[in-house]
Amino acid sequence: MFEYEVLHTNGSARVGKLVLPHGEVTTPQFMPVGTQATVKALSPFDLKAVGATMILANTYHLHVRPGEDVIEQLGGLNKVMAFDGPILTDSGGFQVFSLEGMRKVDEDGVTFQSHVDGGRRRLTPESAMEIQWRLGPDVAMAFDHVVPGTADRKEAEDALDRTARWLERCRSRHEELTRNSPNQQTLWPILQGATFEDLRQRAVEQVTSIGDWSGIAVGGLAVGEGRSKMYDVLQALEPALPKGIPRYLMGVGFPEDLLEAIARGIDLFDCVAPTRNGRNGSAFTASGRVNIKNSIHRTDSEPLDETCDCETCTSYSRGYLRHLFLADELLGLRLMSLHNVRFLIRLAEEARKQIASNNFGRWSEDWLTRYNSRG
């Protein structure tokens, strides 16, 4: 278990196979986000139908509600979610960034004020490992200190070095939990360093000096620094990343970002963007984004995206989808979310084909030109 094989390369873009306890994942791959043990508006049967092979859940939010003890007693995340494929859990490190006004960081860990009941919740590297162990995902993420993309050098450097110190504690506690256990779970580290390329290089050195890993994540991007800066960081980081393990870019899930990151050697992605945009009536299509609520779609009998094979596009018209949103019908939220998730999974599928045929660069450039022509 926890093996990764690179099957094809085309420049820095890669096709690979990741073997995990609950199944195999072919990369590049987009992973839908089920923050609270559910991908919003979609059932596990929907996820299987659109080709999702690996999904995410969130340590902090499940710790707050319903609690890792409840998930454990109900049989773990796979059982609770009725999803039989691999699951990865974020450690709660992103909430250090997203809940900035409701937390306090110290060297030992982070104290949060719960957004649910106002009570205090404490996460440390050790407790983040313990919670994820009880949740039961295939992949647990290290607890890290995420800072905004616009962070200055001192703030970025402090968070980077703290993340390395926390990683050592995460690894030690995770080894204690997994030692002599029949359960199988792996731990992946997270690279920080904001937009400073030399700090990102330092992060790789720190992580690889701590030990060998079955995967590695790039965190702290897509948090306010701008797309071009994110691409620059990934471009500079790629030569330093370990070659024989999957590279996971956290929190990135817009179509253009997937292709740009795949070109820079990234294998795995996750983001709430497809479902969040879908619930707000915004769809990814081959010719750009579409706001289904616009009046131009009132009597449009065409599918949302004629190139797409999802239930939404093969069964319903744009006019009907617009009606669902204007009538506040829940079906609209599901159908748009379903399409957007399928769109990204299908995009990753096509990227794999193009990499394998040594045509990724030309295909990606043409695809992005067409997609961005309508914004």
Closest CA to 266 of 252, 280, 282, 283: 252
Question: DSSP string covering 78-132, please?
Answer: HHHHT--S-EEEE-SHHHHHHTGGGEEE-SS-EEEE-TTTS-EEEE-HHHHHHHH
Q: Which residues are catalytic?
A: 90, 270
Question: DSSP string covering 233-244, please?
Answer: HHHHHGGGS-SS
Tell me the two tokens of residue 170: 């995460």
- What are the start-end ranges of the H helices in the chain? 44-49, 59-64, 68-73, 77-81, 93-98, 125-135, 153-178, 197-210, 227-237, 255-262, 273-279, 311-315, 318-326, 330-356, 360-372
- Do residues 151 and 160 lie in contact, with contact meaning Cβ atoms separated by under 8 Å? no
- Chain mean position to CA 247: 11
